[in-house]
C-alpha cells in the first residue's frame, strides 16, 4: 500500500503553526522508526519552488518519493484545481493507498472515484468561521466549505486540542469518534533555569486576529504604572499577515513606542534566544486551535499571559496567567504577576508539559495508519 502526503500548501521555508506540526512529525519519526517501512511507497506532494525535504526535515528513507508540482505556488486557484481535479484521478490509478494532509484538504472526488482510498485530514482550528475577515470573501468561503466537506468525507480527522475537537463537531456535525486529538509537541529539552531579562515577547503572525493592539495597550499601561517598569521592552516576532499595516500605524501613535520592536520572521535559533531570555510570553489571540508559542515558552521555563478563550487555557494550564477579562488594565496586572510570582508559574511547567509528550503524540498519530 502507498501513502500520499499532501504538502502542496507550503510554498516557502517560513513555516507557521500547521507547517511546524508536520515538521515535528517527521522529526519524531526517524528513518529507523518502522513507520515508513509499512508502505510500499510514500509519495510527498509538494511545490517545485522549495526544498521540501530540507524545510520539513524529512528523513532519508529509500521508499520516499517527492512529486514536485510546478506553478501551483503562484496562484491559489491552480492548487485547488490540482487537488480537486487532477489528484483524485492520480489516486484512482495508484490505488490502493492512504492519503494524508496536515491541513483540511481532501480531494473530494476520491470519495466517489476510489472509495477504498483511506483519507486522513488535519483540521487545526475553525478560524475561517470565527474570524472570516482574515481570508477575504471568496477564499474564506472556500476554506469553510473544504473544511466541512473534508471533515465529513475523510476516514479520520486529526486535530490539535480538545477545544478544536468540540468546535469541529459543532460546525461540521461529524461524530466525535471520527476525530483524534494529536497535540502539537516539541522535540526539545526542558530548561527551567534560563535568565529572565526585562523584556516580553509575542510570537505570531502580525495581524488583527492576534489582538496585538490590546497587547500593545497593556504593555504601555504596564510601563506607565511604575517608573521602574520603563526598562522593559516588548519584542514582536513574526511575519506580516492580513491588514498588518494598521498595526504598524497604531504603534506610531503610542507613547513609549520606543520600547516596542517588530523583529519580523526569525529562524528557529534566533527565535529561541528571545524566548529563552524573556520575562514572559504575551499571547492574547482572539481564537487559537492550540498556540504553539506557549509550548515553546514552557520548554524554556517561561510563563505566558493568555486570553481565556479557545484552546489557550487548555494549553497553558497553571503555567501562566489566564485573562478572562481582556482589558489593558488586566493585562498589566498579569505582567506584574509573572514578574513577582514567576517561580509559582514555572513550578507547574514539568507537569503540564507531560500532556504534550512527543512519544505519546507520535503513537496517536501512527495508530491512525494501522
- CA 248 – CA 246 distance, rounded (Å): 6
Task: Tell me whether the CATH fold assigned to 2-185+357-367 matches the one assigned to 199-354.
Answer: yes
- CA 358 – CA 1 distance, rounded (Å): 27
Displacement of CA 304 from its chain's centroid (Å): 17
pLDDT band at 305 (very low <50, low <70, confident <90, very high): very high
Displacement of CA 115 from its chain's centroid (Å): 31
pLDDT, mean of residues 338-361: 96
User: What's the N-to-C CA distance of the chain in angstroms?
Assistant: 12
Q: How many CB atoms lie within 10 A of CB 281?
A: 27
Q: What is the pTM of this model?
A: 0.91
Tell me, what's the pLDDT at 209?
87
pLDDT tens digits, one per residue of 162-182: 999 999 999 999 999 999 999
Per-domain boundaries in the chain: 2-185+357-367, 199-354
3-state secondary structure the chain: CEEEEECCCCCCCCCCHHHHHHHHHHHHCCCCCCCHHHCCCEEEEEECCCCHHHHCCCCCCCCEEEEEECCCCCCHHHHHHHHHHHHHHHHHHHCCEEEECCCCCCCCCHHHHCCCCEEEEECCCCHHHHCHHHCCHHHHHHHHHHHHHHHHHCCEEEECCHHHHHHHHHHHCCCHHHEEECCCCCCCCCCCCCCCCCEEEEECCECHHHCHHHHHHHHHHHHHHCHHHHHCEEEEECCECCCHHHHHHHHHCCCCHHHEEEEECCCHHHHHHHHHHCCEEEECCCCCCCCHHHHHHHHCCCCEEEECCCCHHHHHCCCCEEECCCCHHHHHHHHHHHHHCHHHHHCCHHHHHHHHCHHHHHHHHHHCCC
- CA 324 – CA 234 distance, rounded (Å): 22
Q: How many CB atoms lie within 10 A of CB 35?
A: 20
Cell matching residue 296: 515553546
pLDDT, mean of residues 168-197: 95
pLDDT tens digits, one per residue of 216-233: 999 999 999 988 889 999
Which superfamily does CATH assign the domain made up of 199-354 to?
Glycogen Phosphorylase B; (3.40.50.2000)
- Fold category of 2-185+357-367 in CATH: Rossmann fold (3.40.50)
pLDDT tens digits, one per residue of 40-97: 999 999 999 899 999 999 999 999 999 999 887 778 888 899 999 999 998 888 767 8
Amino acid at each position: 500500500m502507498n501513502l500520499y502526503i499532501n504538502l502542496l500548501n507550503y510554498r516557502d521555508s517560513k513555516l507557521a503553526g500547521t507547517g511546524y506540526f508536520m515538521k515535528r512529525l517527521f522529526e519524531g519519526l526517524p528513518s529507523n522508526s518502522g513507520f515508513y517501512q509499512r508502505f510500499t511507497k510514500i509519495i510527498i506532494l509538494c511545490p517545485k519552488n522549495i526544498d521540501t525535504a530540507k524545510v520539513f526535515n524529512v528523513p532519508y528513507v529509500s521508499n520516499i518519493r517527492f512529486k514536485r508540482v510546478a506553478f501551483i505556488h503562484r496562484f491559489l486557484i491552480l492548487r485547488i484545481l490540482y487537488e480537486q481535479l487532477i489528484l483524485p484521478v492520480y489516486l484512482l490509478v495508484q490505488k490502493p493507498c492512504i492519503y494524508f494532509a496536515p491541513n483540511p484538504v481532501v480531494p473530494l472526488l476520491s470519495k466517489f472515484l476510489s472509495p477504498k482510498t483511506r483519507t486522513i485530514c488535519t483540521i487545526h482550528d475553525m478560524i475561517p468561521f470565527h474570524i472570516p475577515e482574515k481570508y477575504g470573501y471568496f477564499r474564506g468561503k472556500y476554506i469553510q466549505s473544504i473544511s466541512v466537506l473534508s471533515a465529513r468525507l475523510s476516514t479520520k480527522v486529526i486535530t490539535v486540542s480538545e477545544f478544536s475537537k468540540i468546535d469541529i463537531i459543532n460546525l461540521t456535525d461529524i461524530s466525535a469518534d471520527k476525530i483524534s486529538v494529536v497535540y502539537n509537541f516539541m522535540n526539545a529539552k526542558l530548561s527551567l533555569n534560563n535568565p529572565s531579562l526585562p523584556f516580553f515577547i509575542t510570537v505570531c503572525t502580525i495581524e488583527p486576529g492576534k489582538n496585538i493592539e490590546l497587547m500593545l495597550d497593556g504593555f504601555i499601561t504596564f510601563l506607565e504604572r511604575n517608573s521602574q517598569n520603563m526598562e522593559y521592552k516588548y519584542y514582536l516576532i513574526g511575519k506580516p499577515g492580513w491588514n498588518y499595516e494598521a498595526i504598524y500605524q497604531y504603534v506610531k501613535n503610542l507613547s513609549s513606542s520606543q520600547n516596542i520592536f517588530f523583529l519580523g520572521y526569525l529562524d528557529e535559533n534566533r527565535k529561541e534566544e528571545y524566548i529563552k531570555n524573556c520575562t514572559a510570553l504575551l499571547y492574547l489571540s482572539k481564537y487559537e486551535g492550540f498556540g504553539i508559542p506557549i509550548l515553546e515558552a514552557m520548554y524554556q521555563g517561561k510563563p505566558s499571559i493568555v486570553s481565556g478563550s479557545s484552546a489557550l487555557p487548555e494549553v497553558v494550564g497553571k503555567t501562566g496567567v489566564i485573562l478572562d477579562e481582556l482589558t489593558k488594565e488586566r493585562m498589566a496586572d498579569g505582567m506584574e504577576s509573572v514578574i513577582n510570582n514567576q517561580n509559582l508559574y514555572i513550578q507547574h511547567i514539568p507537569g503540564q508539559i507531560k500532556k504534550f509528550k512527543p512519544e505519546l503524540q507520535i503513537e496517536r498519530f501512527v495508530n491512525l495508519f494501522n
